[in-house]
Amino acid sequence: MKRIKRTEAYEVSLDIKDDHFIDPPKLAQRNAVINRALKEFCADLNALHEQTKNFVPGETSANDFVGFAEREQAQLSDQEIMEDWQIPLMEAMAKAITNRGGDILEIGFGRGVSADIIQKYPIESHTIIECNTSVIEEYFNPWKAAYPDKEIRLVEGLWQDTIDELGSFDGIFFHTYPLNEDEYMEYVHASITFAEHFFCYASEHLKPGGAFTYFSNEIQSVGREHQHLLLKHFSSFNVSVLPLDLPENVKDTWWADSIVVIKATK
């Protein structure tokens, strides 16, 4: 079975060689499913064409991560930890997982921007996992001293090594970054979103009805692959589009003038 979609800008050819691939009871059903998939792919191409018109050039590319140093214990500047353009995103993400208060888990402390925002909400406890010793000493310890009456717990180490020791939470905020080249290639370059490998852990550690959010890597909608992954681990999700004011020389691997904020609910 072969399908071709042509426009003035591109041609897409789909050649299905296995007669039993996508094989419902009726041929009409097979045709409908395959035609829909091809139509959706072309719609994605057209959307990307429009979205990329507004990209900023930035200062990095995927090739710049080849051979970059281990970041687990690296001493990083404020902007290397998190650039200021992300602050509105932190506000939107924090709001998404604190609407019912309760116990909040934050993966990655960074500069403490998101932790400050989370503390503005009437939560009961705030658990933070952070692996970088210099971040803990320079940022977390002074930050915690400003909240002497709040229930704040630091879990020092990688989340992969510590999360199984923790209980359940009403909200989970995941905003960390690849620590080395291997993580970048596996979890950024080869994944729909960096948080993908954390989805199962988020689901396991959420209370029923609890919410999870993360840096989505989506510009104006959520792709079907991303949707499938979310619904594999969560009962539902909702999205909102956040406009961004990016500098031309953004150092992060994000170039679009908007991003989707996702709230996944267990």
CA atoms of 206 and 165, how far apart (whole Å)? 14
Closest C-alpha among 210, 214, 217, 203 to residue 253: 217
Of 254, 245, 248, 184, whose CA–CA distance to 215 is shortest? 254
Structure tokens at 53: 């018109």
Residue 77, both tokens: 């500047």
Element (H, E) at 266: none
State phi, psi for 261 to the nearest 5 degrees.
-95, 125
The answer to whether 105 and 212 are in contact (CB under 8 A) is no
> Which tokens in the block code for residue 13?
């050819």
* pTM > 0.95: yes or no: no
Q: Which domains does the chain have, with CATH numbers?
A: 2-54 (no CATH), 62-265 (3.40.50.150)
d(CA 212, CA 202): 7
Tell me the residue type at 222. Answer: V
* Contact between 237 and 178 (Cβ < 8 Å): no
The answer to whether the CB of 135 falls within 8 A of the CB of 109 is yes
The pair of three-digit structure tokens given for residue 61, joined into one six-digit string? 């590319």
* One-letter amino acid for residue 238 of the chain: N
* Element of type H or E holding 37: helix 27-51
- 23: CB partners within 8 A, 6+ apart: 30
Distant-in-sequence, close-in-space partners of 18: CB < 8 Å, separation ≥ 6: none
Q: How do the pLDDT tens digits run along the chain, 266 residues long?
A: 899 999 999 999 999 999 999 999 999 999 999 999 999 999 999 999 999 999 999 885 444 444 445 554 555 555 556 789 999 999 999 999 999 999 999 999 988 999 999 999 999 999 999 999 989 999 999 999 999 999 999 999 999 999 999 999 999 999 986 666 666 665 566 678 989 999 999 999 999 999 999 999 999 999 999 999 999 999 999 999 999 999 998 888 899 999 999 999 99
Give me the sign of the Cα torsion angle 253, 223, 205, 190: negative
Q: Report, in this order, helix, strand and coil percent for the chain, each rounded to 5.
A: 40, 25, 35
Closest by CA position to 108, among listed 175, 58, 179, 55: 175
